[in-house]
Amino acid sequence: MDETKEKKILKNDPFNNKMDISNEITHEDIHIRGMDTELSENKNDLISSRKETSTLNNSNTTNDNENRIAIQKSKFIYKFVGKTLFLFSDKEGNPIFIIGPHWGMYFCLNGIITIIMILIYIFAFPKFNLLMRILGHISFWIFFISYTLAFLLNPGYPKNNIGKFTGEPRKKYYFCEFCQFWIRKDAYASHCYDCDICIEGHDHHCPWTGHCIGKNNKIVFHCFLFSIICVIGYFAAAATNFFSK
């Protein structure tokens, strides 16, 4: 028998391959089919490894998302987000008050109006009748309260109005690349580059209030605009009344 073509009779073919009628298989065939089996096993191992990796990544993503949501819903007294200062939170971790990056404009305008009103109260009120005094008090306090609320109130930061981070954006959510979270599409939110946060119902960024005007402070902002017109009108009337006497 030739050594290069040595044959060995196998009663049970481990590869389940009926190669010929005599059930005879060569060493070369065993080697080749052994390599095929190893490749098949390696392929299965690779697929299994990929599935385990995908499962692990999904698990890590889920844990990371749960941690992020838990952090976002945690209560706080103050913290900085973007270029804004968040003060106090509700039970869901939403900020109640937000002080924007242009907070100095509030103190500047409010200080000017207050100083002028104090001067009018000291020097002009004694010469005014009762109606002028009442109008002065009403216009100033409407201005002060509405301006302070427009300065402090959360304009509409959509921090917890998010979908879970499933890896694929849901149809009703979109992802803000700057804030790094999902936001409802029907919130009509927009990212403010001055405040560096997203605002629902974003109207514009007002430096006089220090931050943006959104769905939560739009009404008080309109009251502030109305009150500042009334205050300026009162100043003009007070000056005319004072110098005419």
Tell whether 171 and 82 lie within a shared domain.
yes
User: How far apart are the C-alpha atoms of 109 and 209, rounded to whole Å?
Assistant: 10
- Give the pLDDT confidence score for residue 6 in this predicted structure: 43
Tell whether 47 and 98 lie within a shared domain.
no
- Using alpha carbons, select from 129, 104, 110, 102 the residue that is nearest to residue 231: 110
Q: 154-168: buried (b, 16+ CB within 10 Å) or exposed (e) per residue? A: bbbbbbebbbebeee
CB 124 within 8 A of CB 242: yes
Tell whether 184 and 118 lie within a shared domain.
yes
Q: Cα torsion for 80, 81, 87, 88, to the nearest 10°?
A: -110
Tell whether 56 and 159 lie within a shared domain.
no
Tell whether 101 and 29 lie within a shared domain.
no
- Residue 26: other Cβ atoms inside 10 A: 14
| Number of domains making up the chain | 2
- Residue 117: other Cβ atoms inside 10 A: 21
Which of 23, 40, 72 is the endpoint of a domain? Answer: 72
User: How far apart are the C-alpha atoms of 94 and 79, rounded to whole Å?
Assistant: 12
- Give the pLDDT confidence score for residue 212 in this predicted structure: 93
3-state helix, strand, coil in the chain (%, to 5): 50, 15, 30
Tell whether 112 and 151 lie within a shared domain.
yes
Q: What is the torsional sign of CA 142, 143, 149, 155?
A: positive
Q: What is 14-35 written as a DSSP string?
A: TT----STT-EEEHHHHHHHHH
Burial (CB < 10 A; 0-12, 13-18, 19+), residue 174, is middle
Which of 24, 39, 72 is the endpoint of a domain? Answer: 72
Burial (CB < 10 A; 0-12, 13-18, 19+), residue 81, is middle
Tell whether 84 and 60 lie within a shared domain.
no
Over its length of 245 residues, how does the chain's per-residue pLDDT go in tens digits? 444 444 444 344 444 444 443 444 444 443 444 444 444 555 555 556 555 555 545 555 445 555 555 656 677 888 888 889 999 888 777 888 999 999 999 999 999 999 999 998 888 888 888 888 898 889 999 999 999 999 999 998 876 545 454 555 556 777 788 877 777 777 788 889 899 888 988 899 999 999 999 999 999 999 999 999 999 998 988 888 777 76
Q: Which domain holds residue 23?
A: 3-72
Which of 72, 96, 131 is the endpoint of a domain? Answer: 72
Tell whether 92 and 125 lie within a shared domain.
yes
Tell whether 178 and 121 lie within a shared domain.
yes
> Going by C-beta distance under 8 Å and a sequence separation of 6 or more, which residues neighbour residue 55?
none
- Give the pLDDT confidence score for residue 74 in this predicted structure: 73
CB 124 within 8 A of CB 132: no
- Give the pLDDT confidence score for residue 40 in this predicted structure: 53
Q: Cα torsion for 93, 99, 101, 102, to the nearest 10°?
A: 160
Q: What is 59-83 written as a DSSP string?
A: HHHHHHHHHHHHHHTS--SEEEETT
Please identify which residue in the block is written with the tokens 């191992």.
45
Tell whether 176 and 83 lie within a shared domain.
yes
Answer yes or no: pTM beyond 0.95: no
Tell whether 232 and 116 lie within a shared domain.
yes
Tell whether 16 and 54 lie within a shared domain.
yes
